Amino acid sequence: MFSMLLFPFSFTEPPFRIFFFLLSVFRAALSFVFGGEVCAGCGRRTVVYPLCADCASTFLLPPPPRCPSCASLLSGGENICWRCRDGIGKKLSVAGMHPAHSYALWRKELLFDWKSRGIRSLSPFFAALAERKIRDAEKGEDSPLCVVPVPPRPGKIRRRGWDQVDELCFYLRHGYGRRVLRILRRLSKNQQKKLSREERLGTRGKGYRAVDGKKLRKALFRAGVDSVPETVVLVDDVVTTGATVCDCASVLASLGVRRVHCVSLFIVD
């Protein structure tokens, strides 16, 4: 339990770190009174969060290397996969792909618990994962990157009370001091997970738009920037076909963004 209470100290912003530590102590007390939690990874009893210390450590381990162009798994010390090297791979329109885990095994169940069952106590773990991948994306860049979240379906936050990517950005902003630039809006109300691969690819260029006018100025002000940066990092929970990534990158390009890195918690291999 003690090691789990120390987890919030991965946050870099002192006020939020202190606040979250106190919140964790309070949560531990409540959890103890009501019988504790169950680890989503191994099923063992836990106290503070629905991940035991061992599974949390495993979950936050560095992922295996992937191709920066298409995010395929690499082997044999390669820097880029042979398909992209030979020009036959499905290169995405981004500067780099930075997924944390494959969408498989117990990690897939963990995402389901977070998104569908609404176990929001998992949010700090996913935020820590996203922060690590953002730091990877910043290697070679001159300055910290603004975070651009993939926006939720229209009305989702009003209906469900929260959105997982929006919650990630809350932790990234307040816990890690990231500048969050909300300059994209989603047009379609359809859930991507309910669409086939062909249907997802068929939505290319139709699902997202940039905010404009007063909303754009407000978004820039809230992020603390004067104009849309030339390089940003797009954050999403899962990458499947890459259609959303390419769509959002195209919209960002129309706003003057020249380089888009994509960070995702999971990718469907």
CATH of the domain at 193: 3.40.50
Using alpha carbons, select from 139, 136, 125, 127 the residue that is nearest to residue 169. 127
Range of the domain at 250: 92-267
Q: Can you tell me the distance from the alpha carbon of 96 to that of 30, in angstroms, rounded to the nearest whole number?
A: 42
Same structural domain, 117 and 234: yes
How do 96-102 and 259-267 pair as beta strands?
parallel
What rounded mean pLDDT belongs to the chain? 86
Q: Are residues 123 and 206 in the same domain?
A: yes
At 193, is the pLDDT very low, low, confident or very high (cuts 50, 70, 90)?
low
In a domain, 76, yes or no: no
Q: Cα(219)–Cα(158) distance, rounded to whole angstroms?
A: 20
* One domain for residues 10 and 99: no
Tell me the pLDDT tens digit for each residue of 8-66. Answer: 568 999 999 999 988 888 888 887 788 778 888 888 888 788 888 888 888 888 888 88
pLDDT at 198 > cutoff 70: no
| Same-domain pairing of 42 and 111 | no
In a domain, 227, yes or no: yes
Q: What is the CA radius of gyration of the chain?
A: 19
Q: How many CB atoms lie within 10 A of CB 257?
A: 23
Q: Is residue 25 within 8 Å of 49, Cβ to Cβ? A: no
Identify whether the C-beta of residue 219 lies closer than 8 Å to the C-beta of residue 182. yes
Give the CA diameter of the chain. Answer: 60
- pLDDT value at position 66? 87
168 shares its domain with 240: yes
Selected residue with higher pLDDT from 172 and 106: 172
Question: Which of 105-109, 163-167, 185-189 comes out lowest in average pLDDT?
Answer: 185-189
Number of CB atoms found within 10 A of residue 218's CB: 12
Q: Do 11 and 109 reside in the same domain of the chain?
A: no
Residue 232, C-beta contacts closer than 8 angstroms, at least 6 positions apart: 145, 146, 147, 148, 181, 252, 257, 259, 260, 261
The pLDDT-based confidence of 114 (bands split at 50, 70, 90) is very high
Q: 261 and 155 in one domain?
A: yes
Tell whether the model's pLDDT for residue 88 goes beyond 80.
Answer: no
- Tokens representing 80 are 């880029």
Say how far apart CA 37 and CA 212 lie, in whole Å: 45
Query: Lowest mean pLDDT: which of 21-30, 200-209, 243-252?
Result: 200-209
Please indicate, yes or no, whether residues 52 and 98 belong to a single structural domain of this protein: no
Are 214 and 141 part of one and the same domain? yes
Tokens found for residue 232: 């940003």
Q: What is the pLDDT of residues 174-188, one digit of tens each?
A: 999 999 999 999 997
In a shared domain, residues 154 and 262: yes
Number of domains in the chain: 2
Q: Does residue 202 belong to any structural domain of this protein?
A: yes
Claim to verify: residue 51 and residue 127 sit in the same structural domain? no
Average pLDDT over residues 250-268: 95
Instruction: Assess whether pLDDT exceeds 80 at residue 90.
Output: no
In the predicted structure, residue 6 carries a pLDDT above the cut 60: no
**Number of CB atoms found within 10 A of residue 16's CB:** 18
Task: Quote the strand ranges of the chain, DSSP E.
Answer: 37-38, 45-46, 96-102, 146-149, 184-186, 208-210, 231-239, 259-267
Is 71 within the bounds of a domain?
Answer: no
Q: Are residues 100 and 212 both part of a single domain?
A: yes
Cβ neighbours for 137, distance < 8 A, ≥ 6 positions apart = 96, 98, 145, 233, 261, 263
